[in-house]
Structures are given as structure tokens and as C-alpha cells.
Amino acid sequence: MARVKGGPRAHARHRKVIKAAKGYYGRRKSCFRTAVQAVEKAGQYAYRDRRTKKRDFRKLWIQRINAAARIHGMKYSTFMHGLKLSGIELDRKSLSEIAIHDEKGFAAIAKQAQAALDKAEKAAA
């Protein structure tokens, strides 16, 4: 009886890896051994960066809110405290979008936050 070498399966596996390595530079896209390494490493980076992306966007939103709050004479932390005191429950993503696209709306929010801070300050004194 003839020896079965699994040619079709191996070819399909190779083709799957080469397809995943499409767009890579040099031998990484065409040579199976190097393509396997490149695809595995790409998977590790993708897994890691799906988590990192969340952190990066939160940092960006905070920077945008801080810049907009400073235009209205407040720091980020005092602005967020004022929002909490005034009962405005907007997340950082939507606040940063408002800061970019609707300056008047952000100014109104900042005014409410400042009013809540002033009210809390009077109550403490």
C-alpha cells in the first residue's frame, strides 16, 4: 500500500498562512517558514494592541477635554469634578467630540460645571 503524505491538507495549510501574510515585505509573504513566524507575531501584536487601543483613546479624549476646559479657565480635574457635582453624566468620548465639533455646547457644559463648583465652594465656606 502507498504511503499517504497528506499533500492536499499541507497545501491548504500553507495557502492559508501565505494568504494571511499577504502584503508583508520580502520573503515573509512567500516563504512558508518565515510567513508562519510573521503571521504568529502579527497575531501577538494584534492581541496586545486591541487592549492598548482602549488606553490610547482614553488618553486622547482626556487631552482634548483638558485643552477645551483650559480655554474656559479650568483644569481637566476641576472640570470633571464640576460635572460630577452638577449631575452631568457624559463619558469622555462624547465630551471630546462635543469639545471638537460644538464649541458653544462645550462652553455651556463648562458654565454649568463652574456654577456647580462655585455652589459647592459657597456651601463649604
- Specify if 3 maps to a domain: no
Domain count for the chain: 1
Taking 70 as the pLDDT cut, the residues of the chain under it are: none
- Specify if 29 maps to a domain: yes
In the chain, % helix, strand, coil (3-state, to 5) comes to 80, 0, 20
- Specify if 42 maps to a domain: yes
- Specify if 77 maps to a domain: yes
Sign of CA dihedral 7, 9, 10, 14: positive
Distance, CA of 24 to CA of 38 (rounded, Å): 8
The pLDDT assigned to 1 comes to 73
Q: What is the CATH number of the domain that holds 44?
A: 1.10.1900.20
- Specify if 2 maps to a domain: no
Distance, CA of 41 to CA of 26 (rounded, Å): 16
The pLDDT assigned to 4 comes to 78
- Specify if 63 maps to a domain: yes
- Specify if 26 maps to a domain: yes
- Specify if 18 maps to a domain: yes
Single pTM value for the model: 0.80
Domain that holds residue 37: 10-124
